[in-house]
């Protein structure tokens, strides 16, 4: 990836924070105080528990971001990470509640089935696209609602909890949380999902850049006809792409529902599924870019409540800043033009000396 491309998201982030500062000044707040509170709240000044929460937020966003980015790199637009994540989470919670197994085995099985459930939820739009050329944007959005209402129906029926809006809690043997991590981070819910997410980053990078499998998937994504001409199995690859994308979102579901939470609520789609689109966009659809972006969003989400309580800046400012960053990243063409103009300007003023 060339250097110019990387400047754009960095610039977008900078502009986002500057705009945020302007908003604060206009509404009579002190941006320096607010931003240092945000950083402090995210544990970047040494509070271990808070930093653990930043990593916790990051974990899920890495996986949903990877899900969207991987699909995108292989020519598919997966809007369905939310649904895939929810189904993964549901299956993991189901297994966590219904079975009683030795700790290590229980959580392993729950996590693997979450991945498989996400893959299955991705398989359907993949198949529809391969067989009938139905556009995945439409079908994945539909699948989100099917997931949401399925969970709405299935949770009260099979794993009802003490409230009617949520499931029973999972057995601790099925949790991704571990004592040593919780202790290390002084009670934060950061969990083994963090390591799974980081491994996923490496794995996806490796698949895309180093393997013939990744080469094929990208070829099919870029040019279906040329891939056919080259003798690739176009339909199979399309389905596999969607399944891998779904699997990543399913894993995100595991880290969230049996890592952070220990049950599942009904009637909501996890917002991280949609945030994944923003993460992938700002991360330029590259696995490492996704990880960095997830870290950024993770700390902003982790620190916002502390910022509100210690400076009276409403925590809603954080989503506003994120939205502005995304806006600048999405209008990268505009930023590029600005960059070019300022480059020219500086070149000229240098030449004048």
Could you list the residues that contact another protein (CB under 8 A)? 210-213, 215-216, 218-219, 222-223, 225-232
- Quick check: 121 and 80 in contact, CB under 8 A? yes
Cβ 247 to another protein, closest distance in Å?
18
**Cβ-based nearer residue to another protein, 215 or 288:** 215
**Cβ-based nearer residue to another protein, 157 or 225:** 225
Measured CA to CA, the distance from residue 111 to residue 96 in angstroms comes to 10
**Cβ-based nearer residue to another protein, 202 or 305:** 202
Provide long-range contacts, Cβ within 8 A and 24+ apart, for 105-108.
106/171, 106/173, 106/174, 107/173, 107/174, 107/175, 107/176, 107/192, 107/258
Cβ 226 to another protein, closest distance in Å?
5
> Which among 275, 266, 257 is positioned nearest to 111, based on CA atoms?
257
**Cβ-based nearer residue to another protein, 177 or 218:** 218
C-alpha triplet 217, 219, 224: angle, nearest 5°: 105
- Quick check: 273 and 105 in contact, CB under 8 A? no
Note the Cα 17 to chain centre separation in Å: 21
Query: What single-letter DSSP state applies at residue 174?
Result: G
- Quick check: 88 and 273 in contact, CB under 8 A? no
Q: At what angle do helices 48-73 and 234-255 cross, to 10 degrees?
A: 170
Cβ 245 to another protein, closest distance in Å?
19
Cβ 215 to another protein, closest distance in Å?
6
Cβ 103 to another protein, closest distance in Å?
35
**Cβ-based nearer residue to another protein, 133 or 225:** 225
Cβ 285 to another protein, closest distance in Å?
13
**Cβ-based nearer residue to another protein, 144 or 237:** 237
């Amino acid at each position: 990836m060339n250097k110019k491309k990387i400047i754009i998201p960095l610039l977008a982030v900078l502009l986002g924070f500057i705009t945020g500062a302007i908003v604060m000044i206009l509404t009579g707040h002190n941006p320096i105080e607010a931003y240092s509170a945000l950083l402090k709240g995210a544990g970047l000044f040494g509070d271990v528990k808070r930093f653990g929460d930043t990593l916790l937020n990051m974990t899920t966003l890495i996986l949903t971001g990877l899900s969207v980015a991987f699909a995108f790199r292989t020519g598919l637009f997966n809007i369905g990470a939310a649904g895939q994540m929810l189904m993964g989470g549901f299956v993991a919670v189901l297994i966590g509640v219904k079975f009683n197994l030795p700790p290590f085995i229980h959580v392993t099985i729950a996590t693997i089935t979450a991945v498989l459930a996400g893959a299955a939820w991705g398989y359907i739009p993949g198949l529809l696209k391969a067989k009938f050329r139905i556009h995945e944007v439409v079908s994945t959005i539909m699948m989100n609602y099917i997931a949401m209402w399925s969970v709405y129906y299935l949770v009260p029926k099979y794993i009802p909890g003490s409230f009617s809006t949520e499931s029973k809690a999972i057995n601790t043997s099925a949790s991704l949380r571990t004592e040593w991590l919780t202790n290390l981070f002084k009670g934060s819910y950061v969990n083994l999902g963090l390591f799974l997410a980081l491994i996923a980053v490496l794995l996806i990078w490796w698949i895309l850049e180093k393997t013939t499998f990744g080469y094929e998937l990208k070829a099919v994504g870029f040019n279906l006809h040329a891939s056919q001409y080259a003798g690739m199995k176009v339909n199979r690859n399309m389905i596999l792409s969607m399944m891998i994308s779904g699997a990543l979102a399913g894993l995100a579901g595991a880290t969230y529902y049996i890592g952070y939470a220990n049950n599942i609520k009904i009637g909501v789609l996890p917002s991280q599924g949609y945030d994944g689109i923003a993460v992938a966009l700002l991360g330029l659809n590259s696995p490492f870019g996704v990880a960095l972006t997830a870290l950024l969003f993770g700390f902003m989400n982790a620190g916002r409540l502390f910022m509100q309580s210690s400076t009276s800046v409403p925590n809603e400012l954080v989503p506003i800043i994120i939205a502005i960053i995304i806006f600048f990243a999405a209008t990268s063409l505009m930023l590029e033009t600005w960059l070019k103009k300022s480059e020219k300007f500086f070149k000229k003023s240098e030449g004048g000396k």
